[in-house]
Structure 1
């Protein structure tokens, strides 16, 4: 029977990416406000340390890191789900890549591998000599894969470019961190590198959310196409023939 398949799930996927981006921007604004109040405003610096650590952007045990890890895991699951829907191995491998990134973010794997470079500067910049080139190659391959897969979705492409732009900005900020630390420059009574870390961690938190929105957009497109194909196949033969006549 025509129209027997409900559309709400597909409609939900249509609006979910935009709502996700809005939600994470609001959430990141809350975390940013908490960090500023508890770490950069003098009258709030006497707050309990556990509370300050919870909103600390540079802490690995903060809400910022937990949010980043959770969203990256969701991104990995979404990529695998898209691979199952389209029966494509590339998306499943992309999901494994982001699953590794979530593990790396939680366990600080790339920082722990920094000793392989033979450079010990005490601030964990040396990981860039060993891990960054490899991760950049994988990241570029993933970008090309998503770009080619989103030929029919401009919004997915825009979000993909935005996400990778944020990651590039975060890497650039991390690249100048060493110079800022050793410069001793201060602004409003605080070292400049603290503001650099704040911007870097914010970009690393928001970027996977934006890319997740892009992948969810593609999932919605695939779901709509599959439902339309199923509805066409299940329509009565005489009705399909009538629609095919000029």
Structure 2
């Protein structure tokens, strides 16, 4: 009698909830660490080497905090593209797949924007063209009129309407897709963080004599320096924005975990071929 041949399969049990929880705890802890690093090393000047201070400055685009924020946003985008790939291989409608693709594209763009400062550059270009039109005597320039009305940074004139529409789309679409309490709460909290961060940026761009400039009020009330108020306002803005990104990532990772628990497999299970069946049949 021939010895029976068998094929062994290896199954790896992965506690995805624990992994997600650990990842989120790490992100939040690291974000707090970045704020403390900025406060002690950069602002407090515990290390008097200027290059190290700039590296720890949470308000700079070439700092450790900027790298972390950009990387985290990119990871959210990649997570969303993985969701898109899985959804495409289920019975989901084309509208559902398109909706996830739109959100994935948006977060991918946000990662590129964070790294390349697209909205700031476009805002500066818009302001330059508006000033050129005004200098040329074009009193009817809509760009110049728009900048005269809007009191804060020029980029917000261009991008806030688009970001607002995207935020509305995210709420409506994900409220339908993530139809249980936890991810819905996370999405609302994440969007709230981004709204607050944009609010901080709006106040930062106001003229110091503007009625809405809270920085001026705080400086006069507590006798603080302009740099102190602006810097810690920027620190709070960056921290809240990173926290919002973490909450988004947690919501999407939780949904990804639900998709995989529903029986979506990345690799097909081994199926016995006719030859295998003959080998495994007793005489």
Aligned to 1:205: 242
Aligned to 1:129: 157
Once the two structures are TM-superposed, the CA of residue 144 in structure 1 deviates from its matched residue by 2.0
2:13 equivalent to 1:8: yes
Q: Which of 155, 160, 163 in structure 1 is aligned with 2:190?
A: 163
The whole-number CA distance in structure 1 between the counterparts of 2:103 and 2:12 is 28
User: Retained in 2: the 8 A contact 1:75–1:212?
Assistant: yes
Q: Which of 157, 164, 175 in structure 1 is aligned with 2:202?
A: 175
Once the two structures are TM-superposed, the CA of residue 181 in structure 1 deviates from its matched residue by 5.9
The whole-number CA distance in structure 2 between the counterparts of 1:105 and 1:143 is 22
CA 1:91–1:7 in structure 2 vs 1: closer, same or farther (change >3 Å)?
farther
User: Retained in 1: the 8 A contact 2:218–2:224?
Assistant: no
User: Retained in 2: the 8 A contact 1:64–1:205?
Assistant: no
Q: Deviations over 1:83-128 (max 9, x none)?
A: 11111232122111111111111111111121425439xx971111
Once the two structures are TM-superposed, the CA of residue 21 in structure 1 deviates from its matched residue by 2.1
2:116 equivalent to 1:107: yes
Aligned length: 222
CA 1:185–1:172 in structure 2 vs 1: closer, same or farther (change >3 Å)?
same
User: Which structure is higher in helix share?
Assistant: 1
Q: Deviations over 1:186-220 (max 9, x none)?
A: 75754322221111011112211110111000000
Aligned to 1:63: 64
User: Retained in 1: the 8 A contact 2:152–2:202?
Assistant: no
The whole-number CA distance in structure 2 between the counterparts of 1:213 and 1:227 is 20
The whole-number CA distance in structure 2 between the counterparts of 1:6 and 1:227 is 15
SS of the residue aligned with 1:110? helix
Normalising by structure 2, we get a TM-score of 0.70
Unaligned runs of 5+ in 1: 229-233, 235-246
Once the two structures are TM-superposed, the CA of residue 180 in structure 1 deviates from its matched residue by 4.8
Q: Deviations over 1:199-244 (max 9, x none)?
A: 101111221111011100000001001159xxxxx9xxxxxxxxxx
Once the two structures are TM-superposed, the CA of residue 73 in structure 1 deviates from its matched residue by 0.7
